[in-house]
Amino acid sequence: MAISLVLFICAGLALGWGNARFTRVSVDRIADSEAGGVGALALFSGARLVVLTAVSVALAFLVRPGGVGVLVGLAGFQAFALLWFARPMLRGRT
């Protein structure tokens, strides 16, 4: 059971990394296009987050109790990303 929990935590971290990567790609694509705008960014972000939420919640419910590790991995990735981007402010450089 401990091994499956660790694997699902790693899967959650991978989902978080993939979400961050897809966010960057979609923002670059919208910024390069002339027709893009706030509406296109909202549409892509909403669709990406719906898919991410559906996959993570489905894994958490279908593979109990280890599947909850996906949510733990996602939360861990978000905490790490928050600290990573807040690093300059924490050092006193704004």
- What is d(CA 60, CA 66) in angstroms, rounded to the nearest whole number? 7
The percentage of the chain sitting over the pLDDT mark of 90, rounded to a whole number, equals: 45
Classify residue 34 by its DSSP letter: S
Q: Residue 91: pLDDT band by 50, 70, 90 thresholds?
A: confident
Question: Is 78 a residue whose pLDDT tops 70?
Answer: yes
Higher-pLDDT residue of 75 and 66 is 75
Write out pLDDT tens, residues 61-72.
998 888 899 999
Side-chain-facing half-sphere of 4: CA atoms under 13 Å: 9
Residue 1 burial by CB count (10 A; 0-12/13-18/19+): exposed, middle or buried?
exposed
**Residue type (1 letter), 88:** P
- What is d(CA 46, CA 48) in angstroms, rounded to the nearest whole number? 5
Write out pLDDT tens, residues 27-62.
888 888 776 677 778 888 899 999 999 999 999 899
What pLDDT does 30 receive?
81
